[in-house]
């Protein structure tokens, strides 16, 4: 069955494809660019600030992000690698387009560097100690099959128990 980018939708927890470790993209093709464009559209419609390929059912190491939610701030990261995680960490509320209604305080390094390819296959590198750093870490978690529910504190797990149970029950 051929991949039709326009048919991609955001998968909801507990869909099994959210737990698959994504594979590197071998070549930046027109299909990859079409998928990225669709993901940006889905992210903006949701609305959100990031979306990873596993969230649309693809086992590709790619995510899109837009920390400002402004039209000219869209970014595509192909085969991203995080490095230079700061020693200083911070807690901040995070949500997820694949886990609607769930918000959790997640501890992450405050700063990080992301290295990736852009849509033309050119290497890019960005450094951030702001919202972008958190988005990159959240989306890279998706590429490894990790969700915010895996990083929740016990208190957040308890506070979100009903919402998570309702999401799980919706697929039964």
Domain ranges of the chain: 9-169
Quote the pLDDT of residue 18: 98
Quote the pLDDT of residue 1: 73
Query: What 3 state SS string does 60-114 have?
Result: ECEEEECCCCCHHHCEEEEEEEEECCCCCEEEEEECCCCCCCCCEEEEEECCEEE
Quote the pLDDT of residue 43: 98
Distance CA 39, CA 66 (A): 11
- Active-site pick, 45, 130, 139, 168: 139
Longest dimension (CA), the chain: 46
Token digits of residue 16: 């099994």
Q: Please give the average pLDDT of every successive group of 10 residues along the chain, which has 172 residues.
A: 94 97 98 98 98 98 96 96 97 97 97 98 97 98 98 96 95 78
Quote the pLDDT of residue 24: 98
What is this structure's pTM? 0.97
Q: 139 catalytic, yes or no?
A: yes
Q: State in Å, rounded, how far the first CA of the chain is from the last one.
A: 26
| Residue-wise burial string across 91-109, b where 16 or more C-beta atoms lie within 10 A, e elsewhere | eeebebbbbeebbbbbebb
Place of tokens 């949701």: 46
Q: Are 75 and 66 in contact (CB under 8 A)?
A: yes
Distance CA 49, CA 68 (A): 8
Cβ within 8 Å of residue 58, ≥6 positions away: 3, 8, 22, 35
Distance CA 47, CA 43 (A): 6
Q: What is the CATH number of domain 9-169?
A: 3.90.45.10
Distance CA 88, CA 109 (A): 6
């Amino acid at each position: 069955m051929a991949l039709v980018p326009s048919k991609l939708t955001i998968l909801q927890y507990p869909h099994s494809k959210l737990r698959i470790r994504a594979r590197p993209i071998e070549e930046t093709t027109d299909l990859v660019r079409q998928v990225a464009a669709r993901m940006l559209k889905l992210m903006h419609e949701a609305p959100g600030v990031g979306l990873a390929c596993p969230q649309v059912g693809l086992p590709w190491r790619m995510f899109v992000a837009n920390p400002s939610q402004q039209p000219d701030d869209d970014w595509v990261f192909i085969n991203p690698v995080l490095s230079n995680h700061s020693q200083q960490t911070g807690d901040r509320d995070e949500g997820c387009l694949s886990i609607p209604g769930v918000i959790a305080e997640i501890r992450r390094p405050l700063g990080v560097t992301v290295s990736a390819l852009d849509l033309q296959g050119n290497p890019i590198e960005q450094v951030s100690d702001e919202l972008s750093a958190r988005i990159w870490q959240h989306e890279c978690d998706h590429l490894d099959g990790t969700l915010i529910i895996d990083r929740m504190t016990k208190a957040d797990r308890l506070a979100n128990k009903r919402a998570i149970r309702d999401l799980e029950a919706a697929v039964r």
